[in-house]
Structure 1
Amino acid sequence: MSLRKEKRKKLNDPVKRYLRNGGKITVLPGCELKPRPERSTVESITAGYALDYQVNGLINWANGSRTKKPRRTFLSEVTGINLKRIRSCLTSGKPARLTKSEYKRLMDAKAQVEKLEEHGEIRIKQKERAA
């Protein structure tokens, strides 16, 4: 058999099989496409992160302390959030991302911290007068 006839036979065999099946395409079993599982996150998608201007406002407020004890330390004591976490979120430059729930906790604690500062300043002034 010549090379030309062999190639023609190779091409005609699949066409003959197709016509024998009534012109229907035979679907072979294959891998089914599975959707990817949802990604898990610490916070829900709706919670998200605090906005930049909110975080910047907290950073400016934390830097404005007039007492010996830093406001970040007070925030840690009042909210129960780890001091390292507060420092990493409330530093200028490239802070870590602050979640909305953490932001809300810190904002709720702001008034308490300012009261604690007032009491601390009063005590310091009373000690200075006594000395």
Structure 2
Amino acid sequence: MTKKNVLFLCTGNSCRSQMAEGWARHFHGDTIEAYSAGIEAHGMNPNAMQVMKEAGVDISAYSSKLASSLADVPLDLVITVCGHADENCPAFLTKAKLVHVGFDDPPKLAKEAASEEEALDQYRRVRDEIRDFAKNKLAALLP
């Protein structure tokens, strides 16, 4: 069986799309080749790496990259995980099935936190929402 190529697209490819790639590889590595990229590349978010590691998924070797770096990958499915990426999805990606599944932005939510632990809790909540999506709904979206 050939693996399906799935891209998780976000604005900066630093947090949500990276977590989604990690969970997709964790749950569906035998059937999905997961990628993540951004409209921009903001670097890896250390809090995202920390909370994923807490959950048993190491994304520390991943890198923040532009969607254009995947122009030669025949994508089957592109999932935008933030509104900005959904509204500004690069045209070459729309040849694949395009689906928007939005998640809150942990760095934005963490700015309002009263403590570092409260900030990390925002990352954990979104991590868990992405985990549940990847585990229970992702496969049904494949073309």
TM-score normalised according to structure 1 size: 0.27
More strand by share: 2
Report 1 or 2 for greater relative contact order, CA contacts < 8 Å, sequence distance ≥ 6. 2
More helix by share: 1
TM-score normalised according to structure 2 size: 0.26
Greater C-alpha radius of gyration:
1
